[in-house]
Amino acid sequence: MPHRTVHRRTVLKGLAVTAAGGFLAKPAIAAVTPLKIGCSIPLTGAGFTAVGKELTGALKVYMQQHGDTVAGRKIELIIRDDAGVADNARRLVQEMIVNDKVDLVAMGITPCTLAVAPLVTEAKKATLCLSSGASITTTKSPYFVRAGFIVAPQAWIMAEWAIKNGSKRVVTLVNDWAPGTEAETAFKTRFLQVGGEVIESIRIPLASPDFAPSLQRIADLKPDTAFIYFPGTQAPIFTKQFAEKGLGQSGIKVIGPGDLCDDESLNNAGDQMIGLITAGPYSAAHDSPLNKTYVAEFQKTAGERPDFVSLGAYDGLHLVYEALKKTGGDSDGDKLVAAMKGMAFESPRGPISIDPATRDIVCNIYIRKVEKINGELWAKEFETFPNVKDPMKS
């Protein structure tokens, strides 16, 4: 059955914020050519609507904090709903380039981002990768710049931490899509290098996964540790079934990348999440003044906690604003990408930079443990691996 065509457009422009946090109309700036950023993100559809909500929330927060004009250009965000479907994204981005005359492009999840690589390359449009965690993403177009996250460094660091903390025999379980298979590869590569044993690797479909056979297989194999990677929406379902099957009392440790305790869903996931160890680039519990302000303003704007996905949009807009200052407002794709390369600044997640060789994000990876504090679940950071590059490109 063909995918339902989705065609929704939202424009965020002229934002101003009152002391109470409300929006007011801001007078138009005359004789200024607006700079249009075309965003293709999932606002509806199965599985990834939370991604769209986090990204749009962060875009609003950044513009509230920093205004809507930079280097003489008024910023206009054109947001289209691709429903997480690659064919939709390809069509919508083509329309935004041809009809809306966008100056930049911003993309959501991995399949949609990969689908538009030929379009933005041909059009020479600087393109922000907001929420694609696959290592391969930035290799698909010289105009891709990753502002979000990469799964492989999280898996790599998790392997290093696991072997130092008693894990010896591990089963891996991931979704069968690019971020999942790359997480599996990165973890296995590093875990074997440092002396561990991966006794079996299990892959399950991304859509509507059936966890029961995998849980039974883990129970039969009796590893000391299970390395798990799923998108954040699936992680609470898995951990609940893991506990219900009695594996929580088996002594098998569950570890994985940060998606397993995604802030957007963590607080409603259930107490079976307590004690879960993950390696990730961001937690809403990150202890810095900048992050405390960000979390408070995001909650006020979006009605929920920000998660690691949101930082792709927040830091992505910062890249655009700072690059435009460097180019004097020139939105030429090659000039913007060149300006973004090597850029370094403080994010709510901590220090970040853009690797000039790969156009990838470089950031801290934190080891976190889920704790219940004042009745709420938080992924509390307790160890930091600074400035981690993608090991799959090293």
* pLDDT number for residue 12: 54
Q: Where are the domains of the chain?
A: 9-149+288-359, 151-280+365-393
| Sites in the chain below the pLDDT cut of 70 | 1-31, 232
Fold topology of 9-149+288-359: Rossmann fold (3.40.50)
- Name every residue whose Cβ is closer than 8 Å to that of residue 165 and which is 6 or more positions away in sequence: none
Selecting from 3.40.50.2300, 3.20.20.240, 3.10.20.30, 3.40.50.1860, what CATH number does the domain 151-280+365-393 have? Answer: 3.40.50.2300
The reply to whether domains 9-149+288-359 and 151-280+365-393 share a CATH topology is yes
pLDDT at 3: 42
CA 361 – CA 312 distance, rounded (Å): 10
Helices (H), 76-133: 86-98, 110-115, 117-123
How far is C-alpha 201 from the chain's CA centre? 24
Nearest residue to 376 via CA among 249, 218, 238, 265: 265
Cβ contacts of residue 319 below 8 Å, gap of 6+?
A: 128, 145, 147, 340, 343, 354
E-strand spans in the chain? 9-12, 15-17, 23-25, 35-41, 69-70, 73-81, 104-107, 127-129, 144-146, 169-175, 197-204, 225-229, 253-257, 277-280, 344-347, 350-354, 361-373, 376-388
Residue 227's nearest CA partner among 185, 266, 281 is: 185
What integer pLDDT is reported at residue 52 of this predicted model? 95
What pTM was estimated for this model as a whole? Answer: 0.89
pLDDT tens digits, 133-166: 999 999 999 999 999 999 999 999 999 999 999 9
Q: pLDDT value at position 231? A: 77
Q: Output the pLDDT for position 67.
A: 97
Helix (H) or strand (E) holding 50: helix 49-66
Closest among 98, 153, 105, 103 to 129, alpha carbons compared: 105
Q: Mention every residue, 6+ apart, whose C-beta is less than 8 A from residue 1.
A: none
Residue 232 confidence (pLDDT): 67
Tell me the three state secondary structure of residue 53. helix
Q: How far apart are CA 186 and CA 136, in angstroms?
A: 13
